[in-house]
Chains A and B, each alone.
Chain A
Amino acid sequence: MTKYIRRAVGLCALLLVALLVNAARIQVVQAPSYDDNPANRRTAIARYGQPRGDIVVDGRAVTGSRDTGRQFRYERTYLDGPLYAPVTGFASQLYGTTLLEGTEDGVLSGSDPMLAPYPLFNGLVRARGAGGRVVTTLNAEAQRAAFEGLGPRRGAVAAIEPSTGRILALVSTPSYDPGQLSGTGPAASRAWARLNDQDDKPMLNRAIRQTYPPGSTFKVLTAAAALDSGVVDDVDAPTGSPDPYRLPGTTTRLTNETEGCADASLRYAFTWSCNTVFAKLGVDVGLDGMTRTAAGFGFNDRKLRIPFSVAPSNFDLRLDNAQLALSSIGQFDTRATPLQMAMIAGAVAGDGTVKTPYLVERTTSHSGGTLTTTGPRILHQAMTASTAQRMRELMTDVVEKGTGTVAAIPGATVGGKTGTAQHGIGNSGTPYAWFISWARADDSVEPAVAVAVVVEDAAARRGDITGGGFAGPIARAVMEAVLGS
């Protein structure tokens, strides 16, 4: 019997070896893949086990963290949530992160390797650094002026500093409080369902993710193309354009809302927003010249990040001359984000270059040590410096005596362009009132701000002057806020 007992011991030894080998398989070999399994809540527990770093505007944190004492311990809170939602996005324990909360998540959550004081050691013991801070380029007063200017209407504002590309304001209305989505409770899921169901899409960032037909504001680009290509040499010379203008190859006649557009000079046509002149100039420049200039200003660019992605603005690459004529006055398939239109105003205000717009000034560790900084970078040379100089004259005329007088600011040089875009089948949709402008303080050599405002407003149906009347005051308020700070 002894022999058989020994064999039974041998069997138990085999079972022990099987257990140990299997335990090593789970705990050593398979461990990394199990740790990374999205259904494994340990990663999330560690992530929410410490306060999230803050997003800073003008030296003040606009975010916070609340200790709930639950399994996912810290929840995101927001000061002025709706005001900054188009910048911060949300950091939800249920629905993930968006916008700055999303692209800067590594720094904010503390998982960025740069935050670990001893990276190798922290990697070994899987320690997490304290959440870092993200310092934005926003100007708090400009942001608030834009938000309050839009009020209850749907619309968006983008403002940049022309010389650097720093984004000074990025507003979209209606907005929402991202703090509603923070926790894991039923309140968060109810808020999520409600925000997604709302017709006016409060979580849509209209300043960068919605493209609108730019209407007459696009004439800035067409004018720049005409000057740059030599189609127009003298802004005061007649352009030889008929009124009404028959779209090439069709019998459709394009008309104007203002008088005196027949054979008008570029200056007059720009100041009073003559459709016929710019439709003809676009055709004269030709498809190649127009698409080149549009690309130079940033149209059709799918790669722009500020650091989150921006919807590409569209200028069609294949058009017949009738379509080119309509596209050149910001209709047909031409569509632009408010940020794109601010970049156009900024290029005019500066030396003709488009700077890459950016929203994150720098990121720092929890204790304030700088991790990364962002600086000005030239995205494109959109037009020559002399064209930019002549465009400034034209835009200044619009504010001094044309359709945009509402945007004039004492003590500053202001250039602008109004626009009204009709859309929908038979132009039945709510029209978009546009205003793009820039401002330079009289005692300064650098322009302070370029801004684009779009308001979705039924009352703008009557034309450019009224359209400018809706969007212009908002642009002026934003420019005043930047000039005054």
Chain B
Amino acid sequence: MTLPGMSGTAVAADPAPPAERLPRRRGIELALIVLAVLLCVYGYCAVGLARHGTVPPGAAGYGAGLGVLALVAHVAVRLRAPYADPLLLPIAVLLNGLGLVLIYRLDLQTPDDRAAPIQLVWSTLGVAFFIVVVLCLRDHRVLQRYTYVSVVGALALLVLPILFPAVNGARIWIRIAGFSIQPGEFAKVLLAVFFAGYLAANRNALAYSGRQIWRFRRLQLPTGRVLGPIVAIWLLSVLVLVLERDLGTSLLFFGLFVILLYVATGRTGWIAVGLLLACAGALAVGRLEPHVHSRVEDWMDPFASIAAGQGPNQLAQSLFAFAAGGILGTGLGLGHSVLIGFAAKSDFILATAGEELGLAGLAAVFLLYALFVVSGYRAGLALRDPFGRLLSVGLASIVALQVFVIAGGVTGLIPLTGMAMPFLAQGGSSVVTNWIIVALLIRISDCARGQYDGTPAP
């Protein structure tokens, strides 16, 4: 713990600047990308062979499409972010490709609702955004200037769907020209930018000034002037989310807020206060809001609806799917996760992975996410500017929390809240947002690993 009054740029624990240029490792990235694309094409063929006994006619086109997307992204990284972490892009390609395989596999059993082609369009759009961000954003510190623009944008995006009719009990979609867009997904990135920018600017004031409570140094509340805006933003976002009945995103924002506050200030007290607030909020919402209340009851007893003679609910079907997979899985195309019905391709996509790839495949998917998140945190550790550190930690935490909330939800670990599995699940806004997150992390890791001179932002 550093003493009060030290400046933010000279915190003792920060690393020394790299002495020499690191290897670029673009060849490793290319090799991993080729491997990822081949794995996905193999999965695509395996689905066709299992369902119809033939290699699906679109296999070459699918492989070529995914390959071209990945290669274009790779070229963009080579051009503008040569020192970027070589794991980020291949993991994103592999997860996105696997998601397409799983959605295509489920499409075969729901001929009236083909989601894979649309998902491929969204993936293409996501990669386009990725390339734009990598090419145009030369230094992540530029984003710090837009701290307050970001928060206004985020709130606008969160409020927007309230004006549109509710879909499946939640007001989180807007429909334009046949495409449904979930603006809350984009708000995640903007909120991460805001939290990082605001906390980077005010972290000393938050950490070291204000009143002590009960004479505990660690439970020191900052002055209202510093704390006010951030609590207001948080309350506002939670309020909006309660109105929209989107508990998952609410949980995600709250977790993001607490983690960044802790990383910025190092105050354990914040964690305690945050968790207390979270528990109180969850309890209140769980009691009062029927939509959420039923989710909690399902979590406590997933088979209650079976005992009541109404047949298994989605969570029970999801648990059946995971159980049917066992250790090695049934094999791609050979499971029955389509029994989950509604949302099998989006919120419950992991159940298909769990049934057809088994515990082994599921663990591999979790480890891919873990590697991705660790790459994000590593970029943060290597950086020296507080904004960049907080932004990379924030972006990586978004992915980590999202995976935990939805994966924990569909496996019965925590109450289920609707949320997209990053890259895997059907959902255009989510895929595009995730590609933007990859682009930002690539930009930050490029700055972190390259000879980055610490000059003021351009």
Contacts and interface: CB of A to CB of B under 8 A. Distances in A.
Interface stretch (A26-34, A149-157, A276-284, A358-366): A26-34
Nearest to A4: B263
A12 B319 CA distance: 24
Given A2-B15, A5-B381, A15-B400, A31 B413 contact: no
B286 interface: no
Contacts of B320: 34-35, 37, 39-40, 42
Given A16-B370, A22-B413, A27-B327, A1 B339 contact: no
B400 to A, nearest CB: 5
A22 B412 contact: yes
Contacts of A34: 319-320, 322-324
Given A5-B381, A26-B412, A28-B326, A12 B306 contact: no
A2 B336 CA distance: 46
A2 B14 contact: yes
B416 interface: no
Size band of the A side of the interface?
20 to 34
B12 to A, nearest CB: 9
Interface stretch (B48-56, B237-245, B359-367): B359-367
Given A19-B411, A27-B359, A37-B303, A6 B354 contact: no
Contacts of B396: 12
B408 interface: yes
A6 B381 contact: yes
A73 to B, nearest CB: 12
B359 A12 contact: no
Interface in B380-402: 380-381, 386, 389, 393, 396-397, 400
B13 A2 contact: yes
Given A12-B373, A22-B413, A45 B366 contact: no
A37 B380 CA distance: 47
A26 B359 CA distance: 9
B266 A23 contact: no
A458 interface: no
Contacts of B189: none
A28 B374 CA distance: 28
A18 B319 contact: no
B326 A27 contact: yes
Contacts of A42: 320, 324, 336, 339
B13 A3 contact: yes
A484 to B, nearest CB: 51
Contacts of A378: none
Given A6-B381, A28-B327, A42-B336, 8 more contacts: A1-B14, A1-B263, A1-B264, A2-B381, A4-B262, A4-B263, A12-B396, A26-B323
28 contacts: A1-B389, A2-B15, A4-B263, A5-B263, A8-B259, A9-B377, A11-B259, A19-B404, A19-B408, A19-B413, A22-B412, A22-B413, A23-B322, A26-B322, A27-B322, A27-B323, A27-B326, A30-B319, A34-B320, A35-B323, A37-B306, A37-B312, A37-B320, A39-B306, A39-B311, A39-B316, A40-B324, A45-B336
Interface of B: 11, 13-15, 259, 262-264, 266, 303, 306, 311-312, 316, 319-320, 322-327, 336, 339, 354, 358-359, 362-363, 366-367, 370, 373-374, 377, 380-381, 386, 389, 393, 396-397, 400, 403-404, 407-408, 411-413
